[in-house]
Every structure is written in C-alpha cells, then in structure tokens.
C-alpha cells in the first residue's frame, strides 16, 4: 500500500503520515513524497492509494489548494476522508553539529510562514540575514547539505532527526497552540457512526441570491452545526462550496438534511464521515 | 504617499500596484516591497499608507493569509477597501539572453503554484530538473543573477522587463483565464454608491448551530447575493467569517441587512464598498 504526502522527507506532512499509520494500524505502507500539496490527491487517486493533505492551520487558516481541488470534484471522485490527524506545529532552531550558540550563525532559512510565526524569537536572536525556503523540511535539508554556510533552519524536531541536525532551541514560534489539521483520504471508507463524528461535503451552486442559504438551511432547522464553510469561484457565475458539519452522514437528521440539500445543489459529494 | 505590496520587484503584486496607481490617479507614490503577503496590511496600517493584497486566484482560490488576517480585525481596524484590481496571470518562460531554445536549458525555477499551472508546457519541453522558488519574481531574479546555471524561470512579462530577461515562450499556463483579484486598502474610504458595487465584511460568531444562517439570512430575504464566504477558526469555539456581497453598504436594503446582522454577530466590520 502507498501513502502520498507532501515532501521532502521530514515535512509536517511526513510526520502526519507516520501518525496516521500508527492510529489506523496500517501495515508497512510505502510513503511517496509529492512536490506540492496540490499534487497529493491526484497522485493518490491515480494509484488508488492513500493521500494525506493539510486542510487547516490554526494560525494561517484553510489550505486553499486542497479545499479548491475538493470543491471541484464530482460524485465520481474516488477518495473519501477516513480520518483526521491533528499535528502540533512546534518549530525548532536546527543547526549543524559544530554550531553551539546562536551568535555563531550567519543566517537563517525556513518557509516564509514559519519565519512569520517565529518573528519574536528571530528578533531576540538578532539574526537579520534570512533566506526563504519552499518548506521547513527543505530548509533543514539545505542546512545539512551546506554546513559551511553556518545557517540555521526553523523546522520540526522530526526534521532534525531526518537530517541529523542539532536542536539549538525548541518551541520558538510566538503562538504556542499552533496546530495543523490533516485529512487521510482513502479509496475505501467503512467508517460506521460513533455518535461523535464529523462530515465533509462539497457542492456547487448557481450564483443566485439566497441559493447558499436555501442549500444550508436544512442544517439550521435540524440544529446541525456547520464548523467550516468556504466558497470557491469556478468561473461563469458558478460557485463551489466546501462545508464541514458535526455528525455522521448516516445519522438520521444529517441524512435527512443531505437528502433535502441534494435537491437544491449540483453535484453534492459527501467526502466522508469520521470520528472527531 | 507609500504603497505596501509583496515583493520582490517584478511580482504580480508590483504589477497590481502600478495598475492601481494608474486607475486611481495616485501621484508618484513610493512602492515598498514586503517579504510576505501577511506583512503587507500590518505595514500599511502602521504607516497609515496604502496596502495592496491578493484575495483570490481563479485557479487556486482565496489567499488564506490575507482573509484570515481580515477576519480577525476589530472595528478599530484602520484600513478600508477602496478598489479592486483584476490581474491576468500569464506565465512566460524567461531565460538569459544567450539562451535561444528550450533545449539549451539545464533546468527551470518558479513558485510551486506556477510550476503546477504550467505542467503541460513543462512536459512538452521535456524539462525534468525543476527547482522551487518562493515567488515567480524571485525565480526571475535568480535566473538573472546566475546566468551560468542556464536556468529558465516561469514568471510574468513584467518580471522579464524588471530583470532584463528574454521571453522565450508566452502564456505557457494550461488554464488560459487565470486571474488574481487584489484589494487596494487605504486609511480613507470616500467611495459613494454607483449602483454597481460590491462590499466586503467580516464578523465573528460563537460556534452554535444555526448561528451562521441567522447572521446571513437578512441578505437572503432582501435578495442580496453573497459572492464569497469563508470561515476562519479562531480557537475556543469562536469563528471569524469573511463575506463579499453585491451592493454598496449605503444602498437601502444592504444598510438594513447590515443593521440586522450587527445584532446577531460580534464585531461586524464593513471593510469597504467599491465599484465592481
């Protein structure tokens, strides 16, 4: 079995994959690293494999390339969400082994989001030479491959192990409760209702006044909470919507609401229900 | 007057700024380049200056770091949207002057999104060595500064001029109608209704069933179209919402809907109304 996830090795996506393998007791799957978040699900669908993608970060909001892709799918989309993985994002300052203090560093590299999240620490360290990288794992890889540059990387403890770097400082982001939610997509979904589930759906609407309200009012009248909603402009006055609700698609009130919703939306896809 | 925008020079944001300067007849403003999209509006607010940020791309959806930032603002937020700029995103293959055909290239660099948008062309060219960059403009800059590397960059015609590169191929993205919407934020908003406007608002809700529907139903009953909606998880069971509607905040029905909405939301901020 294969699991597709954003690379390179040592990424937060890689870490989420290991967590999913453990939680779902998957048997020695092969992890395949993809170049972008947008390419993970198409690769998983092509290979009838598992794909793990981030959908929301508590600091930066939803992951548009993933939600936009999902909002465009038709009911023939092969994959279903079977689980959610929540990962604490705790950036560390990683350095080559010969560096023992921040003063020895010539500069710093990381993904611009991580640099933004660690502004306070960077200011305290007095580091002014900062080079952006395409991911935190790519930054760690760069530091390992260029030890003479005397650069540090902001990346995870997990990346430190992957690239054999020293952790000079832990938990250096300003916001302490930074988490990323990942969804585990699989060609099969056999999740039965547990009484404490969440469901994900996408649908399309013509751009007409009140069309959105008409579509979601079956949830309001049944006291079903909407925990996330995102519109995606699809051109030509059509809109895709990505919605998360509380409850399992087979729970009585949810099933009834979905039946009503199907009548006033196009291509409603219930992407999956899974325990919260 | 200063205009803050994502850099480096040659970025699509830079191009949007020049377009806004022309459309709004701004008098020789100084353009200040910021390192990330997330830092543009805080810098503009600090300097009581104009800030121009992307809010939506027709291929990749909404720009989360911007919408997330807006959804967190209180009514004391200084800036208001005074105009919208729509920019066609047409990637080109930019190369150093001594390169005259794709076969001479050793590789390619660009932002991962641009690489994704140009997959078909890249396959046709047979280029397999691809290095990600933090932005299309940064990729063009890299190619100019390292001509011996014989690399091409996927970036705009505008970036070709900025970095003195040759345009070897134009319009190489797969989707021909790729556009990005930018908002022009200013400390002053004096836009009067024109009869064909759009408005942007943000508000917060407790995470309760039907809370969202209750908040937006005043639009449905007045046939006011919602053209975009995005939830932002704010932690502790609170949600921020970013909404775009058709109409000016001073139009009778919109003004009435906003008054009703203020009663069942927290910290409703009308970020601005501007001609469509």
Report CB contact under 8 Å: B116, A235.
Answer: no
Same structural domain, A126 and A231:
no
Is residue A210 a part of any domain in this protein?
Answer: yes
Q: How confident is the model at residue B60, as a pLDDT?
A: 59
Same structural domain, B14 and B69:
yes
Integer Rg of chain A from CA? 21
What average pLDDT score do residues A153-158 get?
96
Q: How confident is the model at residue B236, as a pLDDT?
A: 59
B2 pLDDT above the threshold of 90: yes
Q: How confident is the model at residue A52, as a pLDDT?
A: 97
What average pLDDT score do residues A19-28 get?
91
For chain A, what is the domain count? 3
Is residue A79 a part of any domain in this protein?
Answer: yes
Assess whether the previous peptide bond of B92 is cis (omega < 30° from 0): no
Is residue B30 a part of any domain in this protein?
Answer: yes
Is residue B23 a part of any domain in this protein?
Answer: yes
Is residue B192 a part of any domain in this protein?
Answer: no
Considering only CB atoms, A230 lies closest to which of B112, B230, B235, namely B230
Neighbours of A224 (CB within 10 A): 21
Report the alpha-carbon angle A238-A239-A243, nearest 5.
155
**Which pLDDT band holds residue B106 (cuts at 50, 70, 90)?**
very high
What is the DSSP track for A130-157?
Answer: EEE-SSHHHHHHHHHH-GGG-EEEEE-H
d(CA B195, CA B191): 12
Lowest-confidence pick of A15-24, B152-161, B171-180? B171-180
B3 CB-contact burial (10 Å; exposed 0-12 / middle 13-18 / buried 19+): buried
Shortest distance, CA A118 to any CA of chain B (angstroms): 13
Shortest distance, CA A27 to any CA of chain B (angstroms): 32
- SS3 call for A54: strand
Residues 6+ apart with CB under 8 A from A206: A237, A238, A239, A266
Same structural domain, B121 and B7:
no
Provide the CATH number for the domain around residue B241: 3.30.70.260
A73 pLDDT above the threshold of 80: yes
**Residues constituting chain A:** 276
Is residue A191 a part of any domain in this protein?
Answer: no
d(CA A56, CA A14): 16
Domain extent at residue B250: 197-275
Same structural domain, B141 and B113:
yes
Task: Residue B20: name the closest of B78, B67, B89, B86 by CA.
Answer: B86
A245 pLDDT above the threshold of 90: yes
B125 pLDDT above the threshold of 90: yes
Q: How confident is the model at residue B260, as a pLDDT?
A: 95
A156 pLDDT above the threshold of 90: yes
Report CB contact under 8 Å: A113, B228.
Answer: no
pLDDT, tens digit (0-9, with 9 covering 90-100), for B209-233: 788 999 999 999 999 999 889 888 7
Shortest distance, CA A61 to any CA of chain B (angstroms): 6
Provide the CATH number for the domain around residue B99: 3.40.190.10
Q: How confident is the model at residue A2, as a pLDDT?
A: 95
Same structural domain, A59 and A117:
no
Report CB contact under 8 Å: B212, A229.
Answer: yes
* Mean pLDDT value across chain A: 90
Task: Residue A182: name the closest of A89, A111, A254 by CA.
Answer: A89
Report the alpha-carbon angle B128-B133-B139, nearest 5.
90
Report CB contact under 8 Å: A220, B229.
Answer: no
d(CA A218, CA A231): 18
* Mean pLDDT value across chain B: 90
The two most distant CA atoms of chain B are separated, in Å, by: 65
Is residue B191 a part of any domain in this protein?
Answer: no
Report the residue of A33, A230, A257 to disrupt the B interface, i.e. the one with the largest count of B CBs within 10 Å.
A230
């Amino acid at each position: 079995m294969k699991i597709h996830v954003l690379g390179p090795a040592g990424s937060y996506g890689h870490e989420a994959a290991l967590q999913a393998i453990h939680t779902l007791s998957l048997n020695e799957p092969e992890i395949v690293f993809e170049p972008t978040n947008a390419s993970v699900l198409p690769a998983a669908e092509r290979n009838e494999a598992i794909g793990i993608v981030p959908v929301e970060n508590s600091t930066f909001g939803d992951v548009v390339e993933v939600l936009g892709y999902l909002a465009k799918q038709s009911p023939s989309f092969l994959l279903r969400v079977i689980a959610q993985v929540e990962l604490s994002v705790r950036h560390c300052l990683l350095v080559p082994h010969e560096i023992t203090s921040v003063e020895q560093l010539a500069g710093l590299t990381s993904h611009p989001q991580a640099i933004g999240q660690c502004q306070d620490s960077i200011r305290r360290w007095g580091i002014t030479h900062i080079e952006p990288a395409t991911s935190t794992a790519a930054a760690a890889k760069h530091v390992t491959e260029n030890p003479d540059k005397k650069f540090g990387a902001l990346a995870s403890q997990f990346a430190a192990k992957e690239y054999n770097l020293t952790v000079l400082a832990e938990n250096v982001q300003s916001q302490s409760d930074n988490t990323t939610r990942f969804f585990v997509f699989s060609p099969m979904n056999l999740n039965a209702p547990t009484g404490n589930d969440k469901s994900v759906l996408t649908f399309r609407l013509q751009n007409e006044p009140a069309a959105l309200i008409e579509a979601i009012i079956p949830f309001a009248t049944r006291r079903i909470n909407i925990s996330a909603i995102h519109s995606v402009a699809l051109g030509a006055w059509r809109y895709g919507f990505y919605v998360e609700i509380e409850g399992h698609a087979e729970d009585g009130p949810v099933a009834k609401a979905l039946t009503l919703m199907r009548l006033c939306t196009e291509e409603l896809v219930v992407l999956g229900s899974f325990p919260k």
